[in-house]
């Protein structure tokens, strides 16, 4: 893909990768949730994903499957589903999910994870929980958030302790966690290399798949355009940061249609 345009990389990374994908249940190892893996592979990278407030992990299945198709083990704890969701406990669950990924041979024993190639990600309060997890876990090498929400304890405060690269996707039409007080503030407080992109037409729930009763309480609904951009940008970022693959850099260098580069420090690519 070297020398290809951002649009060409976007088209490539928004489609499934070359790996056949297996689905598993984290409950088999003591933690409710989903795990998607490539069919085989040793020393794979892994991502632990935190769901949004009131959102079932099933609303992120396509994203998890997509990451697995590109060579990642993707695990999503199905905990803290109630209205009194604890970001602190979800952050702990994300760290436990990484423990599971690195400590258990997955599949039929043909899949293992490299403990030096770990990342966390999340949507809404799950994004805030991912920041909390990264601040307290030195194993984490990269962080991705979608429409991140400020949390208690504060994800904004935690961002000041995260020295690894972060990619934050903000929804321009987000009336639940407006970017200015949430994703933008977290990005500006980030200690490590950081990039903030704004999807001008996306709502808070745009990154969640399908339909759910929580749309009666929250703003927006699942949006395919937001999900497509999230898949491609997340994949490009994690392949670059966690695996060191440079052929996707064009997608991370500047504005992308529908995902404007709002802030970065320093440039994530070319380093």
Q: What is the mean pLDDT of the chain?
A: 93
Distances (CA, A) of 256 to 21, 46, 113, 147, 190: 28, 26, 32, 18, 22
Say whether pLDDT at 1 is over 50: no
- Residue keyed to tokens 């929980």: 129
pLDDT tens digit string along 132-153? Answer: 999 999 999 999 999 999 999 9
75 phi/psi in degrees, rounded to 5: -120, 140
pLDDT at residue 67 is higher than 70: yes
**CATH code of 96's domain:** 3.40.50.1820
Structure tokens at 106: 């997955």
pLDDT value, residue 210: 86
Tell me if 78 is assigned to some domain: yes
Domain annotation covers residue 23: yes
Q: Is residue 270 part of a domain?
A: no
In the numeric block, which tokens belong to residue 239? 């392949």
pLDDT of 221 > 90? The answer is: no
Judge whether 134 lies within some domain: yes
Is residue 271 included in any domain, yes or no? no
Q: Is 46 part of any domain?
A: yes
Q: Where in the sequence is the domain holding 53, given as residue range(s)? A: 6-265
* pLDDT, tens only, 160-198: 999 999 999 999 999 999 999 999 999 999 999 999 999
Tell me the whole-structure pTM to 2 decimals: 0.94
pLDDT at 26: 87
Q: Which two tokens stand for residue 61?
A: 């299945």
What are the start-end ranges of the H helices in the chain? 6-13, 61-69, 87-103, 125-135, 155-159, 183-189, 224-241
Q: Per the domain annotation, does 1 fall within a domain? A: no
How many structural domains compose the chain? 1
Angle among Cα 21, 133, 18 to the nearest 5 degrees reads 20
Asked if 264 and 14 touch (Cβ cutoff 8 Å), the reply is no
- Mean pLDDT (whole number) for 222-232: 94
Alpha-carbon distance 33 to 176, whole Å? 25
Q: Is residue 41 part of a domain?
A: yes
Please state which of the ranges 27-36, 64-73, 93-102 shows the lowest mean pLDDT.
Answer: 27-36
């Amino acid at each position: 893909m070297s020398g290809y345009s951002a649009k060409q990389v976007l088209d490539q990374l928004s489609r499934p990768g070359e790996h056949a994908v297996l689905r598993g249940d984290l409950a088999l190892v003591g933690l409710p949730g989903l795990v998607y893996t490539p069919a085989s592979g040793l020393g794979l990278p892994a991502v632990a994903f935190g769901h949004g407030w009131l959102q079932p992990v099933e609303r992120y299945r396509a994203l998890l499957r997509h990451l697995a198709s590109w060579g990642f083990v993707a695990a999503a704890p199905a905990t803290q589903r109630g209205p009194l969701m604890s970001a602190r406990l979800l952050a702990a669950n994300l760290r436990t999910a990484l423990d599971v990924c690195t400590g258990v041979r997955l599949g039929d024993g043909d899949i293992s994870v490299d403990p030096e190639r770990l990342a966390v990600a999340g949507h809404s309060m799950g994004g805030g929980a991912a920041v909390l997890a990264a601040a307290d876990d030195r194993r984490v090498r990269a962080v991705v958030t979608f429409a991140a929400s400020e949390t208690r304890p504060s994800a904004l405060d935690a961002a000041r302790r995260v020295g690894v690269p972060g990619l934050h996707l903000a929804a321009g039409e987000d009336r639940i966690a407006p970017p200015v007080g949430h994703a933008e503030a977290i990005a500006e407080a980030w200690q490590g290399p950081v990039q903030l992109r704004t999807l001008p037409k996306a709502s808070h729930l745009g990154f969640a798949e399908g339909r759910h009763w929580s749309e009666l309480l929250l703003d927006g609904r699942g949006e395919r355009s937001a999900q497509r951009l999230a898949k491609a940008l997340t994949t490009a970022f994690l392949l670059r940061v966690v695996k060191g693959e440079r052929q996707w850099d064009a997608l991370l260098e500047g504005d992308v249609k529908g995902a404007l580069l709002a802030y970065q420090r320093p440039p994530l690519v070319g380093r």
